[in-house]
Amino acid sequence: MDLEFTPAELAFREEVRAFFAENVPAEWLTRVRAGLRLEPQELIAYQKALAARGWGAPTWPVEYGGPGWSPAQNYIFESESARAGAPIQFHQGLELIGPIIFTYGSQELKDRYLPGIINADDWWCQGYSEPGAGSDLASLRTTAVRDGDHYVLNGQKMWTSYAQVASHMFVLARTSQEPKRQQGISLLLVDMTTPGIAIRKIETMDEKYTTNEVFLDDVRVPVGNLVGEEGRGWEYGKVLLDRERMVCSATAIHLPQVLDGVREAAAARKVRGVPLIETPAFAAQLAQLEIEAMALETMVLRLLADLASGADSGPRGSMVKLRWSDLYQRATALWIDAHGPEAAHFRALDGEGPADMPYAMQGALYSRVTSIYGGSSEIQHNIIARRALGL
């Protein structure tokens, strides 16, 4: 794997830097550094700017609207995005259902949905998890019964991010009862304005409204919105979940943003007259995280090289997801430590504390979910044990 950039790649890097300098407001940096998502309208505006430049779907093939970038160009784009404080593109459409549609969907579905994903005209949410069917997704009970030219959906989905603003949802539902739980599951694309859909907010510790329950009561979905073949949704869903873990590859490249926040906070706080960042114990913790972040970045580069060559990445997506979630949680915890005792009561500071403290706290809260979504850390360990170690 050659880690040196060619002259053409260096020129591309300058092009990317110029784009971010023009299109990324400085006020985004602290929120993005904390790992927090921007508001939907901000993400939509950012996506539209990328689409106008021809960069709306960096990992997609040219024939479906992607730029046809090499792994090195994708890496340059993501690393410069992190450097500029740009947000990670909202992935439900771009990295999850979009590739499933262009790989398994009909031409009608490709023509209908892919442009809207790239141009941010559509916002997708994921209808997978249910009460009693989270990591054990094969236990899902939502049904889709064929009725003429439609499927009729009934069931409940949980932890559905941004359902309240989504225009569409991709849903795993049981279209037949089979002896094996993984059989008889199909993947359907649902318009969120369809009668029978109800959304209920789930309150979360970070006080951000992103998570919902979705209730499906006799929701009629055209048969043409079936992705691929009936009963093969589990197969497509596993591919989609692998891609969700691969999204962490891009996220891992943004980890140095959090460490920048740690560094700045530790430099500003003094302990017995000495900047915290100069104390041996804290400096050692920070250095250890930086070393592990560099190692993770190298793992991501190898993964990108494998994907470009068409090699099977195996369980590496799970490895990256596992390492990234652990490092992100440790980094945000160290960011809080850098603020010292004031971090314990930041709400009462009324603007008198460090400007980034609320974002550090929210980032630390948000980081808890990174070891849950996309398959919990326990699930990732099991995948690695089976697929890498043969246990």
Catalytic positions, please? 244
The span from the CA of 284 to the CA of 337, in Å, is: 14
* 158, 161, 162, 163 alpha-carbon torsion, rounded to 10°: -20
- The values of phi and psi at residue 254, to 5°, are -85, -5
Do the beta carbons of residue 288 and residue 211 sit within 8 Å? Answer: no
Q: Among 71, 68, 43, which residue's Cα sits nearest to residue 54?
A: 68
130: its two tokens: 């249910």
Q: Give every CB contact of residue 258 below 8 A, 6+ residues apart in sequence.
A: 33, 34, 35, 328, 331, 332, 335, 363
Q: Nearest Cα to 156, choosing from 178, 179, 127? A: 127
CA 20 – CA 81 distance, rounded (Å) = 7
Tokens of residue 247, six digits? 């999204």
Ranges of beta strands (E only) in 74-149 are 124-127, 143-147
DSSP per residue, 252-287:
HHTHHHHHHHHHHHHHH-EETTEEGGGSHHHHHHHH
Q: Give the number of other CB atoms < 10 A from CB of residue 223.
A: 13
Q: List Cβ neighbours of 296 (8 Å cut-off, separation of 6 or more).
A: 252, 255, 320, 323, 324, 327
- The number of beta carbons lying within 10 Å of the beta carbon of residue 294 is 12
For CA atoms 303, 307, 309, 313, give the dihedral sign. Answer: positive
Nearest to 276 by CA among 334, 215, 223: 334
Whole-angstrom distance, CA of residue 313 vs CA of residue 352 = 49
Q: How far is CA 153 from the centre of its chain?
A: 27
